């Protein structure tokens, strides 16, 4: 198997696992700081992936999607939150919901800072490599991982803001709906997974309509390019 392909696969897997673990821990930590100890009592404020992995959503579903050759997404076990324990339930639910995506954006910024640190030492990549030894060999792979960490976590952040359960955006949208609009939304929620499958696979393959690609083109892509520009001093 080609080493570059294998490294890319492992880098993507590592970035996804890191992103999901930090994302779920951020939800749990935000809830705890705002008065709800439920998630903390169940060990969800943890960087141990086993605390967060859902056998279907984190492992089986992504494998099926990889084999199907389409877009890949994953989800972890839901973080248990009891709104009645929050100090200001409506406001705090928004904060808890946003904590996950914001943690992924923070990881993307961390990737940009790592890339910036590498870019500020050009001797690692051109000339003077002998004095760096192993570091010079590792540096290009760190650059690739930094870029992967940025793109994967930005994708996780904005994908999770889509207003369909089990994604975080569903909790945010509910707060702005009332009356018949809210009732209609609750009815649509029952079909959230089929809707995601249609948007991710059916529309792009049959009608060549890529709604996720369009959404990412105005959210993920500009932010990714800005972070890369910052990292490279452009």
Which residues carry out catalysis? 24
For the chain, count helices (H), then strands (E). 10, 0
Question: CA 21, CA 153: separation in Å to the nearest integer?
Answer: 11
Residue (of 204, 209, 201, 166) closest to 72 by Cα position = 201
- Helix (H) / strand (E) element for 136: namely helix 134-159
Contact 104, 23 (CB under 8 A): yes
**Dihedral angle computed from the Cα positions of residues 159, 162, 168 and 169, in that order, rounded to the nearest 10 degrees:** 150
CA-closest candidate to residue 17, choices 46, 43, 52, 45: 52
Measured CA angle at 55 (ends 72, 71), to 5 deg: 5
Kindly report the CA angle at 233 between 229 and 234, in degrees rounded to 5? Answer: 55
């Amino acid at each position: 198997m080609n080493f570059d392909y294998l490294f890319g696969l492992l880098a993507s897997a590592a970035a996804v696992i890191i992103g999901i673990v930090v994302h779920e821990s951020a939800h749990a930590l935000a809830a705890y700081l705002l008065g709800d100890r439920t998630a903390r009592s169940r060990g969800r404020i943890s960087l141990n992936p086993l605390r967060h992995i859902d056998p279907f959503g984190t492992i089986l579903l992504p494998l099926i999607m990889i084999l199907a050759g389409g877009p890949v997404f994953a989800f972890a076990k839901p973080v248990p939150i009891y709104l009645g324990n929050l100090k200001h339930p409506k406001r705090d639910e928004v904060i808890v919901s946003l904590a996950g995506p914001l943690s992924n954006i923070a990881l993307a910024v961390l990737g940009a800072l790592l890339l910036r640190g590498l870019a500020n030492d050009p001797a690692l990549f051109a000339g003077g490599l002998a004095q760096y030894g192993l570091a010079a060999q590792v540096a290009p792979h760190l650059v690739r991982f930094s870029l992967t960490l940025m793109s994967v976590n930005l994708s996780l952040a904005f994908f999770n803001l889509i207003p369909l359960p089990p994604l975080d955006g569903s909790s945010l949208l509910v707060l702005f709906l009332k009356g018949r609009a809210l009732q209609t939304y609750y009815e649509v929620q029952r079909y959230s997974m089929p809707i995601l499958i249609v948007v991710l696979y059916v529309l792009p393959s049959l009608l060549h309509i890529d709604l996720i690609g369009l959404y990412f083109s105005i959210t993920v892509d500009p932010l990714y390019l800005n972070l890369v520009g910052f990292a490279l001093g452009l």
